[in-house]
Amino acid sequence: MFDICGENKLSDFAVEARASLVVDYAKNRKAIYVCSHSGGKDSQAQYIEMCKIIPHDQIIVVHVHLGEYEHDGVIEHFKATINHELVVLEPMHTLGDAILLRGMFPSAKMRWCTSGLKTATINKYIRRMMDENGYTVGFNCVGIRAEESPGRALKTPLVINNNLNAPTKNREVYDWYPVYAHSTDEVFDTIEAAGQAPHPMYGNRGDKNTRLSCALCILSNKNDLTNGAIAKPELYHHYIALERVIDHTMFVRQKNKQPVPVSISEKVGIEFDELEVQRLIPELTKRREELLAEKAAKEAAKEAAKAEKNKAKRTKKTHRKRDMDTIDLFTGETEREVA
């Protein structure tokens, strides 16, 4: 049997077979397709491809908004390129607050920014939305492509999402990557064929930025980081100050098989205003103290609640139910006599 998600998963046959399977689910009116949209080219192409085969009213477009950490104009870009109402989700913490709390930046190997801020937020939304609206089948649609990296080339483009799947709640959820087999050129071709243009940061078919994501992303190359620093100088200074407050650099390089810290200013090579950085440091230091205090208070409250719960359990176990004829050892009276 041909494995449509196996060794030949990038073949035309596998792509068409996966799409056919997904479309077949759409016949179920209790099936919903959540298009996770970052505003980037891959998300944009994904949305276009989804609209070709999935009924309009079974698509929901969601965006986890990271505020100042995103490139400008992302929300406006959505309004110009989608024909659905945009569901904007807010993560529990801003990216800056998350960095201050953890005391470190995310990295290519530890992308907690994606898992903690984006994926967790979308998963929470999907669970609630499906349960509240009675949807029994869901597709978590993400614009991941095999060509992007060796790691993504190993992913399965259509698979059960074990974090969201809940048979006891009659909730069946899959991860689906509609543009998984697309090349970069095919992504831009898809966008142009729909009469659209990608976000302005891409320039002409990526001759400016190669990716959108955050304006200053740990996965970006020097070109994209430089463009981000020029477009958002306030954010550039914010990151430089963050590095100093948590004593952890945004990047690292290897020298003699040992990690060497590399600051964002060293990586980008753009001059910055030291006075502005010094102005930001006290603000960020205070913010970090507040966040850590809040975290400590929540953990203390959680431990207190846990201790109280355990105490109640112990009391219940040691409590001996007495009947009305039980003799009190100290008074010699029975419960019935007292009554």
Quote the pTM value.
0.89
Annotated domain spans of the chain: 12-201
Measured distance CA(223)–CA(209) in Å, rounded: 7
Mean of the per-residue pLDDT values of the chain: 92
Structure token digits, residue 195: 């009469």
- 34 pLDDT higher than 60: yes
In 148-273, where does DSSP find H-type helix? 150-153, 184-193, 222-231, 233-246, 264-268
* Sequence-distant (≥ 6) Cβ neighbours of residue 56 within 8 angstroms: 83, 84
Q: Work out the average pLDDT over 294-316.
A: 90
pLDDT of residue 283: 98
CATH assignment of 12-201, among 3.40.1280.30, 3.40.50.300, 3.40.50.620, 3.30.360.30: 3.40.50.620
Q: Work out the average pLDDT over 89-116.
A: 95
pLDDT of residue 311: 85
Measured distance CA(261)–CA(265) in Å, rounded: 12
pLDDT of residue 226: 97
pLDDT of residue 213: 85
Q: Please give the C-alpha separations between residue 92 and each of 110, 122, 239, 246, in angstroms, as whole numbers.
A: 19, 12, 20, 20
Measured distance CA(167)–CA(337) in Å, rounded: 56
pLDDT digits (tens, 9 = 90+) for 279-288: 999 999 999 9
Do 38 and 212 touch, CB atoms closer than 8 A?
yes
pLDDT digits (tens, 9 = 90+) for 120-172: 999 999 999 999 999 999 999 999 999 999 999 999 999 999 999 999 999 99
The residue type of 49 is E
Q: Work out the average pLDDT over 289-298.
A: 97
- 208 pLDDT higher than 90: yes
